[in-house]
Amino acid sequence: MAKVWRVLIDHYFQRWVRPDDAVLDVGAGLCNFINQVRAGRKIAVDIDPAVAERCSPDVTFIECPCADLADADLGGKVDVAFVSNLLEHLDDSDAVLSLLTALRGHLNPGGRLIILQPNFALVGARYFDFVDHKTVLTDMSLIEALELTGYRITHMKRRFLPYTSKSAIPKAPWLVRLYLMMPIAHYFMGGQTLVVATPADETAARA
């Protein structure tokens, strides 16, 4: 999966991350994103202390549950917060709203929140093929949650990546890049939604 993420970062996600940005990866897991994204400062947050062993030397690891993130010391604010396949694991919608609010508090003015999220409206009952999926989210409910917590959507791709890494998307790096270049493939295979948002009040202040 590291090679797949290398392609996803180089040919998609890196456009929202500048070389000198401070980047936060919440629920970093295998660290495929935070280890490979090009940034000035990189922080991985996870409740599992074993994640520290997966972090590259240039990544700062912070052990912290999502419920405590608002009060976590990240060493300063960040320019980009990345959340991939995490929100569905939270206990309920209140926990989702609390996490989004906490992230907004850690973002610099003009900061960007990137969310890659399984979409129940696209995958249906398969959403619960994983026993630890608790909270149902669609593209519409995710947008509502972001707006309720003070964000403005700047980019949205309703159908982006397949639902799981076990899906039929080719794993060879060149085939992953080809997939990214073919919107028709996203339409038939995409089960995850990509949303990029920025704090709404700060966007208005700069307008």
Q: What is the chain's mean pLDDT, rounded?
A: 91
Instruction: Provide the pLDDT for residue 137.
Output: 97
pLDDT digits (tens, 9 = 90+) for 90-112: 999 999 999 999 999 999 999 99
CB 25 within 8 A of CB 43: yes
- Residues above pLDDT 70, as percent of the chain: 93
Exposure of 6 in the CB half-sphere (CA atoms within 13 A)? 8
**pLDDT (average), residues 58-72:** 97
**pLDDT (average), residues 128-148:** 95
Prediction pTM value: 0.91
Q: Are strands 78-84 and 151-157 parallel, antiparallel or unpaired?
A: unpaired
Instruction: Provide the pLDDT for residue 202.
Output: 56
Residues 6+ apart with CB under 8 A from 137: 87, 88, 96, 117, 118, 119, 120, 145
25, two tokens: 């990866």
User: Domains of the chain: which residue ranges?
Assistant: 2-206
pLDDT digits (tens, 9 = 90+) for 24-43: 999 999 999 999 999 999 99
Task: Give the CATH number of domain 2-206.
Answer: 3.40.50.150
Q: Identify the weakest region by mean pLDDT among 21-30, 38-47, 53-62, 170-179.
A: 170-179
> In which band, very low, low, confident or very high, does the pLDDT at 170 lie, cut at 50, 70 and 90?
low
Instruction: Provide the pLDDT for residue 173.
Output: 76
